[in-house]
A and B are shown apart, each in its own frame.
Chain A
Amino acid sequence: MAVLVALTVSIISFSLLYLSGDPAVAMAGENADDAAIQAIREGYGFDRPFIVQYGDWLFSALRGDFGESYYFRVPVSEVIADRLQITMLLGLFSTSFALVVAIPLGVAAALWPNSIIDRAALFLSVVGQAIPSFWFGLILIVIFAIDLRLLPASGSGTWAGFVLPTVVLGYYATPAIMRLTRTGMLEVLSADYVRTARAKGLPAPNIVFKHALRNAIIPVVSLAAVQMGFMLGGSVVVESVFALHGAGYLAWESISRNDLPTMQALVLIFSMFYIAFTILADVVNAWLDPRLRVS
């Protein structure tokens, strides 16, 4: 199943890239003349039929060889390796940030619906959904890097460099998780077994965290997995603003450079991650809810 999904994704992306223009012109750069472009076209075999080019790539990829980047002229695996690490760190930090902020807020909002806390949480989530991450990133740079001089404006050399990007990317994922937590909690809190637990005289925190949250959080886990996948591929803007040079930015740049091998490898890896996260979410949910284990 997973392989089928990855294969479909790769065929679609290959065709889209193939349609997006002559890779030779993009590779040769802005000042290239006709001869240079023709040389590249022949050198890389862009004059061959589409099916042949795709088949060629697929068979190498199946052997673990993603080919050589058209742009960097080194093996794709070499280009991707440490960039992927940066993106994964960023994705991990951001998802953690989003969960740590969103779940308590969502729970609080559900416990005291329509209170000031609920309103504040709603406000935060609306703003988070509405602010373009590009703009939010620059605002944070102005405040924390220029005015307060607390954090570096860019770079991935130190841990401090990850703080602002984590906040920007994580904040973007916060609203959905928070709203889902709130809705789930509201539903569960009015369920019969919670009322029973209350009637038994169990302490409130015990009811909220052990009985209610554990059930309410199941859809949140699935959502977080999707968000995590999104953050790996979708951190383009954030990586570009903070000059992080991760895989998201590489993917974006590879499109404009028509660097097919790099693009293809990244698409394959990203779709693999999506699949892996979905499986992971299922496992976590099964652990949370024994009823799911049977099915």
Chain B
Amino acid sequence: MRLAGLSSLVAAALLASTSAYAGKADDTLHVAFTKEVENVDVYYTTAREGLILSHSIWDGLVHRDPASGDYVGNLATQWRWVDDTTLEFDLREGVKFHNGEPFDADDVVATVNYVVDPKNGVKAPKNVNWMKSAEKIDQYKVRIHLAAPFPAALEFLSSVVPMYPNEYYAKVGSTGMAKQPVGTGPYKVESVEPGRHFVLKKNEDHFGGPKADAAIETVDIRTIPEINTQLAELATGGLDLIWGVPTDQAQMLDAQGGFNVVNEETMRVGYMTMDAAKRTSGDTPMANKKVREAINYAIDRKGIVDALVQGSSEVINSACSPIQFGCDQDVKVYDYDPEKAKKLLEEAGYGDGFSIEFYAYRDRPYAEALMNNLAAVGIRTNLNFLQYAALADKVRQDGIPLGFMTWGSNSIADVSAILPEFFGGGGQDQSRDEEVQKAIVSGDTSIDKDARAKSYSKALNRIADEAYWVPLWTYGAYYAMSQDTNFKPTSDEIVRFFDVTWN
């Protein structure tokens, strides 16, 4: 509007560009992705942004209520365990895909049988390879056969196994689906510029399952890699909602006023891993339980959370996120006690301390705080700050003596998304404790809730007693939105566009 006085060609171009500034006025929610989504076909992406798109475009058989954690019917209305490895679903009738194709058992069978086939190479096989096949019983009844008893089946079906239209997918394939996605969700896809720009339109014929009907007509998603630029766009009205805002920026924005700044906890946890299994060298101090206990006592977790991590972050005591099923927090607690740490080191024969290589890949200030805590008890660390891929590769190949890392569990609210990865005997398992491994396997393969909780509790207690990890803290995430925008974030970090409304 300030440009009204100018009359040159340039001014005309600028005026045209101001039409992009929108929001409530033209019922378009402008949001930003930080990362380029490699593929909109959600079976071929591991990016969180892909999962976010998928929740608005497609539906799973069941839906997990993000607030209560309960599973309710979505594309299925009822389900039952026929036996340990067979789940039977009654499907919802009268549901139509965005292209008009009706939804029935054939779509479920086609989708499941496609994704479980290794030759189709879905990007995260773990999301689907717990299923063996799907079988049509009648038009609205299917059975999913599991590869082995898998208690987290409903969790996975609600989050990472959306149903595709069989005829459309057979015709266009994954490439076609990525260019013009077709689902049953509250939003239809209007346009896709791969990785950069997506436009979603309200699905007027949404079947009205547990997901709300879209309240906002259009969602316009641009990829803006630089968070400062996202903040500038938010300030000028070019964006209505952003997330992943760093703590200091979020606090500044909040103090400045004029925006809604919200912090919501996530499933990501920070931890220190130690080479208890002597993978890095035969005489590593980390193999000594007393040293590992000393490190646990040496870390002032609460101090670091209060001073640095802040937000909704909390100190954790066991090797998982408290939001996850099976995450027993009632284990041995190591309170901050540097004196005790020094005593334990002395008992272990390291009265003068020792030097050790320390690895980290993110949150450098936190890593440095941890190093200070260690230095205070005589453990001198040499920081190796690597890219995630390089560090994860190193852990898998040779192990690391001591490291600060984090894990987001793919937002799956079940400890089976974290324990087997770090204590199940795989590449990232730095303790290689058979007792722990056994307890995890028994939890992973039972479908009885109580028995599972007991097995995982056994594993977590042993991990805490042996001090294999230093469980650190949970991570919170900051969301910032314009005052017109109303959105309540959830701990699974999925931005459900259909839950966003205008104030």
Which B1-57 residues have a C-beta within 8 angstroms of A? 2-3, 13-14, 16-18, 20, 36, 38-39, 44, 46-47
Q: Give B160-206 interface residues, CB cut-off 8 Å to A.
A: 174-175, 178, 194-196
Q: Which residue of B lies closest to A256 (CB)?
A: B387
Complexed CA–CA distance, A158 and B407 (Å): 40
Cα distance A152–B399 in the bound complex, in angstroms = 48
For chain B, which range describes its interface: under 10, 10 to 19, 20 to 34, or 35 or more residues?
35 or more
For the complex, give the distance between the alpha carbons of A125 and B456 in Å: 65
The answer to whether the Cβ of B392 comes within 8 Å of any Cβ in the partner chain is yes
CB distance from A135 to the nearest CB of B (A): 10
Residue B443, interface by CB 8 Å: no
Report the minimum CB–CB distance from A148 to chain B (whole Å). Answer: 8
B228 within 8 A of A: yes
B123 partner residues in chain A, CB cutoff 8 A: 28-29, 36
Complex CA distance for A72 and B36, rounded to whole angstroms: 9
Counting chain A CB atoms within 10 Å of each CB, which of B3, B235, B392, B393 scores highest?
A: B392
Quick check: A240 and B232 within 8 Å, CB to CB? no
Write the nearest CB–CB distance from B60 to chain A, whole angstroms: 19
A146 touches B235 (CB 8 A): yes
Q: Does A71 contact B (CB under 8 A)?
A: yes
User: How far is the CB of A165 from the nearest CB of chain B, in Å?
Assistant: 11
Any chain B CB within 8 A of the CB of A55?
Answer: no
Cα-based distance from A256 to B36 in the complex (angstroms): 12
Which residue of A has the minimal Cβ distance to B407? A31
Name A239's closest neighbour in chain B (CB-CB).
B225
Q: Counting CB contacts under 8 A, is B223 at the interface? A: yes
Give the distance in Å from the alpha carbon of A151 to the alpha carbon of B388 in the complex.
36
| Cβ contact of B194, chosen from A72, A146, A157, cutoff 8 A | A72
Chain A residues near B196: list those with CB within 8 A: 245
Q: How far is the CB of A158 from chain B (nearest CB, A)?
A: 4
Instruction: Give which listed residue, A21, A26, A153, contacts B236 with CB less than 8 A.
Output: A153
Kindly state whether residue A145 has any CB partner on chain B within 8 Å. Answer: yes
**In the complex, A52 has a CB within 8 A of chain B:** no
Given contacts A28-B46, A31-B408, A245-B196, whether A154 and B392 have CB atoms under 8 Å apart is no
- Nearest Cβ distance between residue B246 and chain A, in whole angstroms? 15
With a CB–CB cut-off of 8 A, which chain B residues contact A30?
46, 388, 392, 408
Expressed in whole angstroms, the Cα–Cα distance for A74 and B45 within the complex equals: 13
Q: How far is the CA of A161 from the CA of B233 in the complex (A)?
A: 12
Judge whether A192 is part of the interface by a CB distance below 8 angstroms.
Answer: no
Instruction: Chain B residues near A150: list those with CB within 8 A.
Output: 2-3, 14
**Contact string against A for B residues 394-408, beta-carbon threshold 8 Å, 1 for contact and 0 otherwise:** 001000000000011
The verdict on A258 contacting chain B, using a C-beta distance below 8 Å, is: yes
Identity of the chain A residue whose Cβ is nearest the Cβ of B417 in the assembled complex: A31
Which of A33, A71, A141, A256 contacts B38, CB < 8 Å? A71
With the chains together, A25 CA to B361 CA distance in Å? Answer: 14
Given contacts A71-B38, A74-B175, contact A158 B13 (CB under 8 A): yes
Across the interface, do A39 and B225 meet the contact criterion of CB distance under 8 Å?
no
B36 touching A146, Cβ below 8 Å: no
Q: Is A169 an interface residue (CB 8 A)?
A: no
With A71-B38, A159-B13, A241-B228: A25-B222 Cβ-Cβ less than 8 Å: no
Q: Which A residues touch B20, using CB under 8 A?
A: 152, 155, 157-158
Known: A33-B421, A146-B236, A243-B223. A153 touches B47 (CB 8 A): no
Contact with B along A149-174 (1 / 0, CB 8 A): 11111110111110000000000000
State A142–B236 Cα separation when bound (angstroms). Answer: 10
**Chain A residues touching B, majority SS:** loop
Q: Compute how far the CA of A3 lies from the CA of B82 in the bound complex, rounded to whole angstroms.
A: 66
Note all chain A residues with C-beta closer than 8 A to B178: 73-74
Residues 17-75 (chain A) with a chain B CB within 8 angstroms: 20-22, 25-26, 28-37, 39, 43, 71-74
Give the contacting residue for A32; candidates B2, B46, B129, B224; CB below 8 A: B46
A267 in the interface (beta carbon within 8 A): no
Q: How far is the CA of A150 from the CA of B238 in the complex (A)?
A: 13
Interface presence of B125 (CB below 8 A): yes
Which residues 220-279 in A have Cβ within 8 Å of B in the complex?
240-243, 245, 249, 253, 256, 258
Alpha-carbon gap, A162 to B318, bound state (A): 51
Q: Residue on A with the closest CB to B35?
A: A253
B229 to chain A, nearest CB (A): 5
Interface status of A124 (Cβ within 8 A of chain B): no
Q: Give CA–CA (A149, B238) in the complex, Å.
A: 11
Asked if B228 and A72 make an inter-chain contact with CB atoms under 8 angstroms apart, the answer reads: no
B126 interfacial by beta-carbon distance below 8 Å:
yes
Tell me the B366-417 residues at the A interface (CB within 8 Å): 387-390, 392-393, 396, 407-410
Are B195 and A72 in touch, CB under 8 angstroms? yes
Taking CB atoms, residues of chain A closer than 8 Å to B396 are 25, 34, 37
Per the 8 Å Cβ criterion, residues 123-147 of A in contact with B are 138, 141-142, 145-146
The complex places the Cα of A39 from the Cα of B44 at a distance, in Å, of 13
Contact between chains at A154 and B389 (CB < 8 Å): no
Q: Per-residue CB proximity of B232-248 to A under 8 Å, as 1/0?
A: 11011010000000000
Kindly list chain A residues whose C-beta atoms are within 8 Å of the C-beta of B223.
243, 245
Asked if B451 CB lies within 8 Å of chain A CBs, one says no
B232 close to A153 (CB less than 8 A): yes
Q: Chain A: which residue is nearest B224 at the CB level? A: A243
A79 within 8 A of B: yes
Interface check B365, CB cutoff 8 A = no
Q: Which residues of A contact B39 (CB under 8 A)?
A: 72-73
**Chain B hits for A39, CB < 8 A:** 118, 121, 125
Over the window 204-233 of chain B, the binary record of Cβ atoms lying under 8 Å from chain A Cβ atoms (1 yes, 0 no) is 000000000000000000111110110011
Cβ contacts under 8 Å, A43 to chain B? 121
**Alpha-carbon gap, A253 to B389, bound state (A):** 14
Is B69 at the interface (CB under 8 A from chain A)? no
A151 to B389 alpha-carbon distance, docked (Å): 38
Q: Are A240 and B46 in contact (CB under 8 A)?
A: no
Do residues B392 and A25 form an inter-chain contact, with CB atoms below 8 A? yes
Q: Which residues of A contact B353 (CB under 8 A)?
A: none
Partner of B126, one of A25, A35, A253, A258: A35
CB contacts (< 8 Å) of B100 on chain A: these are: none
> Known: A31-B409, A160-B13, A243-B224. Contact between A25 and B229, CB under 8 A?
no
Taking Cβ atoms with an 8 Å cutoff, the residues of A that contact B are: 20-22, 25-26, 28-37, 39, 43, 71-74, 79, 138, 141-142, 145-146, 148-155, 157-161, 240-243, 245, 249, 253, 256, 258
Known: A21-B389, A154-B232, A155-B238. 12 other contacts (CB 8 A): A20-B390, A21-B390, A26-B389, A29-B46, A39-B125, A73-B38, A74-B175, A150-B3, A153-B233, A160-B14, A241-B229, A242-B229
The 5 A-B pairs of least Cβ separation, nearest first, read A29-B46, A26-B389, A160-B17, A243-B224, A153-B232
Of the A-B pairs whose beta carbons lie under 8 Å apart in the complex, a sample of 29, sorted by A's number, is A22-B393, A25-B390, A25-B392, A26-B389, A28-B46, A30-B388, A32-B46, A35-B126, A35-B129, A39-B121, A39-B125, A73-B44, A73-B175, A138-B228, A145-B236, A149-B236, A151-B14, A152-B238, A154-B232, A154-B233, A155-B238, A157-B17, A158-B13, A158-B17, A161-B17, A240-B226, A242-B229, A249-B225, A253-B225
